[in-house]
Amino acid sequence: MIFINNNKNYENKIHTTKEIPYSFYKCEISEKFLSVSPHWHREFEINYVLEGRGIYRINDKEYHAEEGDIIFIQPENLHSIYFDGGIQVYNTLVFSPDMLSDGSSRAYNEYLRPIEVGETEITPCCFKKTMLGYDEIRECVQSVFENADVCALNDIILKSQLLKLMYLFARFGFVKKCATIPSNRSLKPTMEYIKERYNEELTIKELAAFSHLSESYFMAQFKMQIGISAIEYINRLRIEKAQNMLRKTTMSVTDIALSCGYKNISNFNRIFKKITGTTPLDFRKDI
């Protein structure tokens, strides 16, 4: 992982450069990789579900996506993906706002810039087959992925299709004025605090104090805004870290448990199996 800058309220992975202002990923959510933890970044993101189903949470809204669905995420929006009982295969494109910007035209100033900075929102974030304009939006998104990560010449087509996608969102009435700033932005520093200290002993009292909230109000707000409890979020983050260590290292299960913040190996095994459906040793054997 490489930090973008010293502002720790952002995902610490670099998705774009000046030369290539986007990244293309082929992704899968399954029993072996249960979730993409809540995170946010400066770039736009498009997900196109190729197979299966999954649960997408964007800010405080939850979407059950299935094959053919298109999920569009604006910059700074908190989002996560969760296992929904079966393998989900999907393509992801994360792209810089620079792909849409010339910084001066009336189209940019009136339509694109407000989307970029969050003055307007594209809603709903999940586009389904039954929705108005779906066929045209899907055709455009398919062209986006067909031309992503090919060559410099195809980047021209990619950029034109991203601009066309913005046009289609506006044309079919999916671009609307934002009524309020998503409330969960206030919890982003707390989530970063957890991310930095996941391998330490963390308590609700400590997290509530960091968030300048009472314990009961903090727990209620975290559950409402993030979709899971703070304790579940910590455990999911720890188990994701443990899965990565089981995949990529030869560390013992005990050492991995200790590295992920579990002082009791039985507790680690119990939580690992509860979240993943298997034991750490069986997970490593399967890998």
Domain 22-177 has CATH 3.20.10.10: no
49, 68 Cβ separation under 8 angstroms: yes
Domain spanning 183-286, CATH architecture: Orthogonal Bundle (1.10)
List phi, psi (to 5°) of 69: -75, 150
53, 9 Cβ separation under 8 angstroms: no
Cis peptide before 124 (omega within 30 of 0): yes
Judge whether 22-177 and 183-286 match in fold.
no
pTM of the model: 0.75
**Residue 10's pLDDT is what?**
46
**Residue 184's pLDDT is what?**
54
Give, for all 287 residues of the chain, the pLDDT tens digit.
Answer: 222 333 333 455 667 788 899 999 999 988 777 788 888 888 999 999 999 999 999 988 899 999 999 999 999 888 999 888 888 999 999 999 999 887 778 998 899 999 998 889 999 999 999 999 999 999 999 999 999 988 999 999 999 999 999 999 999 999 998 866 555 557 888 888 998 899 999 999 999 999 888 899 899 888 887 878 999 999 989 998 999 899 899 999 999 999 999 999 999 999 999 888 889 999 898 87
Q: Under DSSP, is residue 23 helix (H, G, I), strand (E, B) or coil? A: strand
**Residue 181's pLDDT is what?**
57
Which residue ranges make up each domain of the chain?
A: 22-177, 183-286
Q: How many CB atoms lie within 10 A of CB 188?
A: 17
